[in-house]
């Protein structure tokens, strides 16, 4: 029987759609199958609280969107995607009305610090920002010899120490230490872990200086819609409401590309994959989860520091020591009483998110995996600390715990939103130790999710590299 398609992609997250686009660009017939009624994976938008308030259900701020070598090459603006930059990419409030900002300008950011830290900060980031595109091509690549080995090597050396050690060694200024710690905490690891914590922190700050931390006008769903619009224009298609239990249910194709967790691929592929390989996939380590609150607000968040009112992203956690303690407690199975909170206030720059004069707000903290504990009081305690009167602005809340997220998206196992533990061991062996990690022993089965290099983020590069493997085969 003739194949129906050249390739079938299972899952319509950014990586799955990117894989489909790359294959369709080369004239391959491709279909994307999605179990949910709405495509998008981690890039969906919904009225979760009140009518007219549009909330990003998962990802909200997209520092890797413009930084992605592949997504930035696509004409997505022709299909409705508009990036909006807040006046300040990211703010980090501290006690007594102080705050530190990540500005687009290295100079403006460094000016907040003492003279010694100011010079160190400039020296650290200027060379990498000046060559950001070349560096990101290597940092967001599949495992290979870097195209710019000297540049990548220099960045690698800076990434080796744990974020906690690096920030204390590099910066005498507590503001700079807090700034790096908040970015490093996106790793969802204790900050004393080497390599991964500092690498993630530095990459996010580098991208902030080079490209900003934008939001998608009208919601993250617009990223999905733009990718699908472009995909359909070059011959691909997407089918929703398609629950896949076994590979035998799929259309006949030359290649099957899984934008799923490793264990889901093992389950669906069944005996098409060697038993030993499937066992390794099922042993893939998923990490801690999140508890998230979406808010409909009567007014903007009343931050004490006025700079925080202009930022798209706000890191709420205080000093480096406080953030380190919160993340360590989370990792040890403790629900922190003063959690590090990642917040997004898209409506400060995107007036399409809420009715006129009103606002949306998005906040989450890290929690032990599979947690069902309600962290509302702890999160709002931190928000009230830096924005007294915040709770008086709340019109409605919508909460999601780890279980809710896994039900919403089966890739978020135990509430893990980043596709698996990002410590050094798993960074070099995602999803298993393999020279070509997007391939499997079955020559027609591939994997492209955030559990593959280069990892989490709305950049589509996992999908791009998986598609390149399909084309190579």
Q: What is the pLDDT, as a whole number, of residue 6?
A: 98
Q: Kindly report the backbone phi and psi dihedral angles of residue 253, in degrees, each rounded to the nearest multiple of 5, phi listed first.
A: -155, 165
How far is residue 116's CA from residue 105's CA, in Å, rounded to a whole number? 18
b/e 162-197 (16+ beta carbons within 10 angstroms → b)? bbbebbbebbebbbbbbbbbbbbbbbbbbbebbbbb
b/e 219-255 (16+ beta carbons within 10 angstroms → b)? bbbbbbbbbbebbeeeebebeeebebeebeebeebeb
Q: What is the pLDDT, as a whole number, of residue 89?
A: 98
Q: Do residues 119 and 207 share a domain?
A: yes
Q: How confident is the model over 96-115, as a mean pLDDT?
A: 98
How far is residue 377's CA from residue 375's CA, in Å, rounded to a whole number? 6
How far is residue 371's CA from residue 406's CA, in Å, rounded to a whole number? 11
Within 8 A by CB and 6+ apart from 400, the residues are: 57, 291, 292, 408
Q: Do residues 392 and 298 share a domain?
A: yes
In this prediction, what percent of the chain has a pLDDT beyond 90? Answer: 97
Q: How confident is the model over 39-43, as a mean pLDDT?
A: 95
State the CATH number of the domain containing residue 246: 3.50.50.60
Q: Do residues 220 and 257 share a domain?
A: yes
In total, how many domains does the chain have?
A: 3
How far is residue 23's CA from residue 199's CA, in Å, rounded to a whole number? 31
Bin 419: left if φ > 0, else alpha if -120 < ψ < 50, else beta. left
Domain boundary among 211, 240, 268: 211
Q: Please identify which residue in the block is written with the tokens 């990036």.
A: 83
Instruction: Please report which confidence band the pLDDT of residue 240 belongs to, taking 50, 70 and 90 as the band edges.
Output: very high
Q: Is the predicted pLDDT of residue 428 greater than 90, yes or no?
A: no
Q: Is the predicted pLDDT of residue 1 greater than 60, yes or no?
A: no
How far is residue 404's CA from residue 48's CA, in Å, rounded to a whole number? 13
Instruction: Please report which confidence band the pLDDT of residue 3 belongs to, taking 50, 70 and 90 as the band edges.
Output: confident
193-213 pLDDT tens trace: 998 999 999 999 999 999 999
| Average confidence score pLDDT of the chain | 97
What range defines the domain where residue 437 resides?
A: 5-44+56-79+216-285+416-472
Q: Kindly report the backbone phi and psi dihedral angles of residue 361, in degrees, each rounded to the nearest multiple of 5, phi listed first.
A: -150, 140
Instruction: Please report which confidence band the pLDDT of residue 88 belongs to, taking 50, 70 and 90 as the band edges.
Output: very high
Q: What is the pLDDT, as a whole number, of residue 427?
A: 81
Q: Do residues 339 and 362 share a domain?
A: yes
Q: Is the predicted pLDDT of residue 313 greater than 60, yes or no?
A: yes
Helix (H) or strand (E) holding 90: strand 88-93
Domain boundary among 189, 211, 233: 211
How far is residue 448's CA from residue 467's CA, in Å, rounded to a whole number? 8
Instruction: Please report which confidence band the pLDDT of residue 222 belongs to, taking 50, 70 and 90 as the band edges.
Output: very high
Q: Specify whether the CB–CB gap between 33 and 243 falls below 8 A.
A: no
Q: How confident is the model over 454-463, as a mean pLDDT?
A: 96
The SS3 of residue 361 is strand
Q: Do residues 86 and 110 share a domain?
A: no
Q: Do residues 400 and 312 share a domain?
A: yes
In this prediction, what percent of the chain has a pLDDT beyond 70? Answer: 100
- pTM value surpassing 0.85: yes
Q: Specify whether the CB–CB gap between 303 and 386 falls below 8 A.
A: yes
Cα Rg of the chain, angstroms: 21
72-81 pLDDT tens trace: 999 999 999 9
Q: Specify whether the CB–CB gap between 171 and 93 falls below 8 A.
A: no
End-to-end CA distance of the chain: 21
Token pair for residue 174?
């507590």
Q: Do residues 421 and 333 share a domain?
A: no
Q: Do residues 250 and 367 share a domain?
A: no
Q: Specify whether the CB–CB gap between 357 and 274 falls below 8 A.
A: no
Q: Do residues 314 and 454 share a domain?
A: no
Q: Do residues 304 and 410 share a domain?
A: yes
Instruction: Please report which confidence band the pLDDT of residue 411 belongs to, taking 50, 70 and 90 as the band edges.
Output: very high
Domain boundary among 183, 211, 239: 211
Instruction: Please report which confidence band the pLDDT of residue 128 belongs to, taking 50, 70 and 90 as the band edges.
Output: very high
Q: Do residues 292 and 411 share a domain?
A: yes
State the CATH number of the domain containing residue 363: 3.90.660
How far is residue 30's CA from residue 9's CA, in Å, rounded to a whole number? 7
How far is residue 295's CA from residue 194's CA, in Å, rounded to a whole number? 35
321-369 pLDDT tens trace: 999 999 999 999 999 999 999 999 999 999 999 999 999 999 999 999 9
Q: Do residues 256 and 360 share a domain?
A: no
How far is residue 404's CA from residue 353's CA, in Å, rounded to a whole number? 23
Q: How confident is the model over 306-323, as a mean pLDDT?
A: 98
Instruction: Please report which confidence band the pLDDT of residue 425 belongs to, taking 50, 70 and 90 as the band edges.
Output: confident
Q: How far is CA 191 from CA 44, 151, 187, in A?
A: 30, 25, 9
Q: How confident is the model over 249-271, as a mean pLDDT?
A: 97
């Amino acid at each position: 029987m003739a194949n129906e398609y050249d390739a079938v992609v299972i899952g319509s997250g950014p990586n799955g759609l990117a894989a489909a686009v790359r294959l369709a660009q080369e004239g391959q017939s491709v279909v994307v199958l999605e179990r949910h009624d709405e495509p998008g994976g981690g890039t969906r938008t919904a009225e979760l609280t009140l009518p007219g308030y549009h909330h990003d259900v998962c990802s909200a701020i997209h520092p890797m969107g413009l930084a992605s070598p592949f997504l930035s090459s696509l004409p997505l603006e022709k299909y409705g995607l508009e990036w909006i930059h807040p006046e300040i990419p990211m703010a980090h409030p501290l006690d007594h009305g102080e705050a530190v900002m990540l500005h687009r300008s290295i100079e403006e950011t460094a000016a907040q610090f003492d003279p010694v830290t100011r010079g160190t900060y400039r020296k650290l980031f200027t060379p990498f920002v000046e060559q950001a595109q070349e560096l990101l091509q290597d940092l967001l690549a599949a495992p290979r010899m870097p195209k710019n080995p000297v540049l990548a090597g220099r960045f690698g050396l800076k990434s080796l120490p744990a974020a906690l050690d690096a920030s204390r060694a590099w910066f005498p200024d507590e503001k700079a230490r807090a700034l790096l710690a908040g970015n490093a905490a996106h790793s969802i690891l204790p900050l004393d872990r080497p390599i991964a914590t500092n690498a993630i922190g530095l990459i996010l700050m580098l991208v902030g200086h080079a490209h900003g931390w934008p939001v998608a006008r009208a919601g993250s769903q617009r990223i999905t819609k733009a990718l699908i619009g472009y995909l359909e224009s070059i011959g691909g298609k997407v089918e929703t409401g398609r629950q896949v239990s076994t590979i035998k249910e799929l259309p006949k194709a030359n290649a099957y590309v899984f934008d799923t967790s490793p264990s889901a691929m093992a389950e669906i592929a069944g005996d098409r994959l060697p038993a030993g390989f499937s066992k390794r996939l099922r042993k893939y380590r998923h990490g801690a989860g999140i508890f998230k609150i979406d808010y409909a607000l009567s007014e903007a968040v009343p931050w004490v520091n006025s700079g925080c009112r202009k930022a798209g992203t706000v890191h709420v956690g205080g000093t480096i020591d406080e953030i380190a303690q919160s993340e360590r407690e989370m990792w040890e199975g403790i629900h922190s009483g003063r959690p590090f909170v990642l917040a997004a206030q898209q409506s400060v720059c995107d007036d399409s998110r809420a009715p006129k004069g009103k606002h949306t707000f998005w906040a989450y903290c890290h929690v032990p995996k599979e947690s069902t504990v309600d962290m509302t009081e702890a999160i709002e305690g931190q928000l009230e600390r830096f924005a007294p009167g915040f709770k008086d602005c709340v019109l409605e809340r919508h909460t999601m715990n780890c279980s809710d997220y896994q039900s919403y998206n089966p890739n978020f196992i135990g509430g893990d939103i980043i596709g698996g533990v990002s410590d050094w061991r798993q960074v070099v062996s995602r999803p298993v130790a393999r020279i070509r990690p997007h391939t499997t022993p079955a020559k027609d089965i591939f994997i492209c999710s955030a559990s593959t290099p280069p990892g989490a983020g709305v950049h589509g590069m996992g999908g791009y590299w998986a598609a390149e493997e399909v084309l190579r085969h």
